[in-house]
A and B are shown apart, each in its own frame.
Chain A
Amino acid sequence: MTDKPSLPIVENFSRRAAVKGGFATLGAAAFVAAVSPLRQAASDKSAAEFMQQHYTELSPEQKADVIARLEAETKQNYGAEVTIGDDRPIPGTKFVYAINLSVCNGNGNCVEACHKENNHDRSTNQSYIRVLEMPMGTMDMEQGTTTYTGAVPKDGKFYLPVQCQQCDEPPCVDVCPVKATWKEEDGIVVVDYNWCIGCRYCEAACPYHARRFNWKKPEVPAEEVNPDQSYLSNRIRPVGVVEKCTYCLHRTRRGKLPACLEACPTGARVFGNILDKDSNLRWILENKRVYILKEELGTKPAFFYYFD
């Protein structure tokens, strides 16, 4: 599309422009406080990384260079040999998830599977999934808690796993001042971790609390690093950027099921391509009464819940 990388300042599309704008409007002190994790991030940013273009503007050769650099950095910082793919949407697919809430018992195996699959920080047990213990009779996720422990399921409760809903009208995308996050053709909302400035607007805008911020450099022991990675997905994220569930696009765009689904011992999770009229998802939508969370907000999630 774009022939040659031009000076990024010409459009209000660059993080450098936004950073400058931020200084001008907020005042230096307030801005520095607001983006304090960014200072740490900036200090370990290589010159090459700082000069990198937005993902969607990279030519194939530039992408290959960036990916080679990231693989080398992972080797250097984490001691792990990884391959970072550039998985693009499969034409004719739109990914949708559904969860059977009559079956989910809140055991949290999906939460752990996500943690491992997506190379999350070990010390904070980070994961893109939260399982809420809900009182019977409501679908208002704000009434749920995640602090339950012990044997599940408990009487009078049901369990609501919440992760990014890959909204068709994603408020998180609208608020990003530098377009570091966007929705792709198969419905997955992605983040260019090298473009994100860590302002956390998107985290605040997401009604499902689905975004996570890297407060510190993720710690992952070399032997635990999942080496099957993708640029827009589970490669180890830098400190000071926001991340989120990508429906495991490094797996699902290669035809595989997401890690959380494979880990679910109760079979509550269903994943598939809604454009395929023979898919599991289509059958569920046609035969079960499905719910979506916070429907009134008009975010149009690609994530459904049902009871049977």
Chain B
Amino acid sequence: MPRIANLFFTCVVCVTAAMILIAAGQTALRDSTHTGSDESHTVRDASVHVAQSESSASENSAAKTFPIIVRKPIGPPRIELAGTDPQGRSASVACSTCHSVRKPNLENVSAATLDEFHQGMTFEHGKIACYACHNPSDADTLHLADGASVAYEDVMTLCSQCHSKQAESFAHGAHGGMNGHWDLNVGPQMKNNCIDCHDPHAPAYPKMIVGFKPKDRFNEPTDPAEH
């Protein structure tokens, strides 16, 4: 008896399996004829997509979205006049107001030898002459070692002639203060220029006074609670 039951059961299973297989095969066939074109479409789309994301990735690493902005000094300095006019107004004048009518002394290296203007100025920048940086033929600009004139705004070009090590470090964010973003995909970064921190006439970084100190066990005999 169990034998016949077994046989019968096997038959049922076989028939069911065959039905399922056939049905599945037909569906597959229908699908493949139907969606053939769709599929190729999807594939093409995907490749476009990949290409797009690749190009945006390379853009990100090559040209960052936000700039590094180096602060520029405001143009040529202006000289405040000591006296006032009959209406009591004070005035400031451009360097060239006086310097275009005075003969430059190319040898001068110190404020001590000046008999009229710029007296009492501290000058501690090696042994260079005033006209190593200031332009003798146009007092409202500076000039490079090769004589090319350079605007006051671009003073960093001038400094970098001698201080190339610092300029190189600066270019790699390893010299000079900054703020803003480390990630230029998110926002810009602002950097100081040379003369924000260094007085061009006495460039040694000034001494500072220590202000803030944490009150902890490294500083004081401390809090009894800590022992």
Contact = CB atoms under 8 A, between A and B. Distances in A.
A150 interface: yes
Given A124-B216, A267-B177, A308-B165, A108 B210 contact: yes
Which of B165, B179, B210, B219 has the largest number of chain A CB atoms within 10 A? B210
A270 B170 CA distance: 11
B210 A149 contact: yes
Main secondary structure of the interface of A (DSSP, over half): loop
B173 interface: yes
A108 B182 contact: no
B43 interface: no
Nearest to A98: B174
B180 interface: yes
Contact of B219 (A147, A256, A278): A147
B182 A151 contact: no
Interface residues of A, number: 52
Contacts of A151: 207-209
Contact of A256 (B172, B181, B209, B210): B181
B207 A125 contact: no
Interface residues of B, number: 37
B110 interface: no
A252 B208 CA distance: 28
Contacts, number: 125
A130 B214 contact: yes
Contacts of B226: 215
A152 interface: yes
A287 B173 CA distance: 13
Contacts of A152: 207-210
Interface stretch (B23-31, B72-80, B84-92, B185-193): B185-193
B182 A271 contact: yes
A85 to B, nearest CB: 15
Contact of B179 (A100, A149, A262, A283): A262
B9 interface: no
Contact of B213 (A108, A109, A153): A108
Given A105-B205, A105-B208, A257 B214 contact: no
A257 B208 contact: no
B169 interface: yes
Interface string A230-259: 000000000000000000000010111100
Contacts of B173: 270, 272, 280, 283
Interface string A136-152: 00000000011111111
A284 B214 contact: no
Nearest to B176: A267
A296 B196 CA distance: 40
Contact of A265 (B61, B174, B208, B216): B208
Interface of B: 61, 165, 169, 172-183, 185-187, 189, 192, 197, 205, 207-216, 218-219, 223, 225-226
In the A-B complex, the 3 residue pairs with the closest CB atoms: A255-B186, A280-B173, A255-B183
